A and B are shown apart, each in its own frame.
Chain A
Amino acid sequence: MTVGRFSGRLSWRPNIAGLVTMAVCGLVWETAIQIGILHYQYLPAPSAIVLGAGELAASGELVAATLHTLESVFLGWAIAVAAGVSFGLLLGSSPLLRRYSMATIEVLRPMPAIAFVPVALLLFGFSIQTELMVIILPSLWPVLINTMGGLMGVHARLGDVGRTFRLSRAAILYKVFVPAATPAIMVGVRISLTLAVVLAVLAEMVGNPEGLGYAVVSQQQALRPDLMFVYVAVIGLLGLALNALLVGVVSASFPAASAELKGPRS
């Protein structure tokens, strides 16, 4: 039959055309600086950045900063996902709770993350707690809203099916509604991870003096743009890698769900 559409396996095909574009951009940048078309005091050439990366990797600073940021991202994201899924499940299954809480959520949700920094600083000082608070609060919402919305969007027929088989309310929730809402929950989990990386870097720039975010700022103040650009690039690659990792894990754990998202066969 049509098992050909089954896409549980990860395939890795390098995107040659995309890589060529990147290489050309890098080459144009390098050339423009070498022949002096681009002339800013603190804009390094790609070659200088590559050399800087070697320097930072050798000294161990790059690894230490990356590990710190990774740790904060994972910790903050894990807490945000746990809290977001829990509250999302509660709100998604109780109209009463929704009636009492949605107004508060709609006020809190659009608050910009940066507004929490002074609050967190006052509460926790320049610490990992400040960083976690800045990560967790904003990255909680995508998980919560998508979990709640996913649960509310499950077709009513599935509830009827659970009832006609005399499943308990709890069994209907965990056997029927939660799996049916999993694709939506995963969307929230993914948005939240991307957000957590951005927020960790932000918190490190202004709150907790550690990790990649602080490294960017301190290299800027040390007037080492080549090293600053190394950290900027590493932050970009980190976001890319974490997202790819999550997509891989999700499609390996929920082959049916991800295939279903691509639409039914007939």
Chain B
Amino acid sequence: MAGGETTGQQQRDFVFSCRSVSLKLPYQGGTRWILADISFDIHRGELFTIVGPSGTGKTTLIRVLGGLTPCTSGSVRINGQEIAGPPEGVIIVFQDYSHALLQWRTVFRNVALGIEGRVAASELRSQVLAALRLVGLEKNADDYPWQLSGGMQQRVQIARALAVRPAVLLMDEPFAALDAMTKASLQDELLRVKQETGCSIVFITHDIEEAVYLGDRIAVINGSPGRIERTFDITLPKPRNQIITRQLTEFLKFRYAVHQAIAGMIR
């Protein structure tokens, strides 16, 4: 079949492939379009940020990618395969860590959630501890989530996702509820984790600077229903640094361009 080769090609280059994805949800007796005609590809190993104001369907888009909400029309493929339900190796990290963690389980057992019963006990232990080490929480394995600060709880959620050794992390405004200092240190931690694990990351945010600082590419989503109007290749040098990168002329240039893209669409 002629299409077979295209699929093989996609498998090497893209993890996700969205084509004309649209979604409507029931709303006050009628239906309401949340997403319209969204198309993009996510390359293997890249950090793809999606930035836009609230109410533009960002969270819904990540739920579609994660297989929690089926799209109304269009296609979402992962490694060339149409998704039906949550795909293997794709984990969502939610914004509201306090609701997403199992408050009655220790940090260790929270991180074990995705692999318990699926790997041998000794392997489970080493995989959980490795994930905790990636986020610097190996000393907190026996704590309960409610004993930790917000930033630490979000680290637990990230470690829980990493423990299953995912190919893709889908992050829904993961740092939005954290203070500026914690946010900065978690941004750098995320870049380091990505470096060490090689996973692809889709990162949703409404913070333009965060999108530019983290992203290899940025998609700007806007409107209601949400559409992706522009994507930018962020060519800032790596490794990125909170002080140096943010002072670069190119950083300010990207920040300005993304800002203009969003503002332009609002008008």
Report which A residues bind B (CB closer than 8 A): 1-3, 155, 157-158, 160-161, 163-167, 171, 175-176, 179-180, 182, 254, 256-257, 259-260, 264-266
Note all chain A residues with C-beta closer than 8 A to B113.
Answer: 161, 165, 167, 175
Pair B68/A160 contact, Cβ less than 8 Å:
yes
For window 97-116 of B, CB contacts with A under 8 Å fall at 98-100, 102-106, 113-114
Q: Which residues of B contact A163 (CB under 8 A)?
A: 67-68, 85-86
Contact assessment for A254 and B92 in the assembled complex, using a CB-CB cutoff below 8 Å: no
B127 to chain A, nearest CB (A): 14
Q: Closest approach, in angstroms, between the C-beta of A174 and any C-beta of chain B?
A: 12
Asked whether, in the complex, the Cβ of A164 is within 8 Å of the Cβ of B102, the reply is no
Inter-chain contact A259/B146, CB cutoff 8 Å = yes
Query: Could you say which residues of chain A place their CB within 8 Å of the CB of B150?
Result: 266
Chain B nearest CB: distance from A104 CB in Å? 30
Q: Which residues of B contact A266 (CB under 8 A)?
A: 149-150
Does A165 lie within 8 Å of B104, measured CB to CB?
Answer: no
A158 to B113, CA, bound (A): 12
Distance of A171 Cα from B115 Cα, bound (Å): 12
Please report the total number of B residues contacting A with Cβ < 8 Å: 31
Q: Is the CB of B99 within 8 A of A157?
A: yes
Cα A158 to Cα B96 with chains together (Å):
11
A158 CA to B117 CA, complexed, in Å: 19
Chain B residues within an 8 Å CB radius of A175: 113
Closest Cβ–Cβ distance, residue B49 to chain A (whole Å): 20
In contact, B102 and A157 (Cβ under 8 angstroms): no
Chain B residue at minimum C-beta to C-beta distance from A263: B146
B residues with a Cβ closer than 8 A to A are 63, 66-68, 85-86, 88, 90-92, 94, 96, 98-100, 102-106, 113-114, 117, 143-144, 146-150, 164
Report Cα–Cα, A265/B100, bound state, in Å. 17
Contact A164 B92 (CB under 8 A): yes
Q: Are A260 and B104 interface neighbours, CB within 8 A?
A: yes
A254: B residues at CB distance < 8 A: 104
Number of A-B contacts defined by CB within 8 Å: 71
CB-defined A-B contacts under 8 Å, sample of 28: A1-B143, A2-B147, A3-B147, A157-B96, A158-B102, A161-B94, A161-B100, A161-B113, A163-B67, A164-B66, A164-B68, A164-B86, A164-B92, A165-B113, A166-B86, A176-B102, A179-B105, A180-B104, A182-B104, A256-B104, A256-B105, A256-B106, A256-B144, A259-B144, A260-B103, A260-B104, A260-B144, A266-B150
Q: Which one, A160, A165, A179, A259, contacts B164 given CB within 8 A? A: A165
A184 CB, nearest partner CB in chain B, Å: 13
- 12 A-B pairs besides A165-B86, A260-B146 with CB distance below 8 A are A2-B147, A155-B99, A157-B94, A157-B100, A158-B99, A158-B102, A163-B86, A165-B91, A166-B114, A256-B105, A260-B104, A266-B150
Interchain CA distance A89-B55 in the complex, whole Å = 35
Contact of A158 among B63, B92, B100 (CB under 8 A): B100
Contacting residues, chain A, for B100 (C-beta < 8 A): 157-158, 160-161
> Closest residue to A155 on the B side, CB-wise?
B99
A164, B114: Cα distance in complex, Å: 9
User: Complex: how many Å from CA A12 to CA B142?
Assistant: 27
Q: Closest CB of chain B to A149's CB: distance in Å?
A: 18
What's the Cα separation between A179 and B91 when bound, in Å? 22
Cα distance, A256 to B100, chains bound together (Å): 16
Question: Which residues of chain A have C-beta atoms less than 8 A from B68's C-beta?
Answer: 160, 163-164
Closest B-chain residue to A157, C-beta based? B99
Q: Which 7 A-B pairs have the closest CB atoms?
A: A165-B114, A157-B99, A164-B92, A256-B104, A155-B99, A264-B146, A260-B103
**Whole-angstrom distance from the CB of A255 to the nearest CB of chain B?**
9
- Which of A160, A161, A164, A179 has the largest number of chain B CB atoms within 10 A? A164
Smallest CB gap from B104: residue in A: A256
A257 CB contact (under 8 Å) in B94, B96, B104, B106: B104
Query: Which residues of A lie under 8 Å from residue B102 when comparing CB positions?
Result: 158, 161, 176, 179-180
Please, which residues of chain B bring their CB within 8 A of the CB of A164? Answer: 66, 68, 86, 90-92
Min CB distance B144 to A, Å, is 5
**Is A264 within 8 A of B86, CB to CB?**
no
In the bound complex, how far is the Cα of B67 from the Cα of A182, in angstroms?
29
Nearest Cβ in chain A — how far from B135, in angstroms? 17
B50 CB, min distance to chain A CBs, angstroms: 18
**Smallest Cβ-Cβ distance to B114: which chain A residue:** A165
Among A161, A167, A257, A265, point to the contact of B147 (Cβ < 8 A).
Answer: A265
List residues of chain B with CB within 8 A of the CB of A171: 117
Known A-B contacts A176-B102, A180-B104, A254-B104; the reply to A160 vs B94 at CB < 8 A is: yes
Chain A nearest Cβ from B131, distance in angstroms: 13
A234 CB → nearest B CB, Å: 37
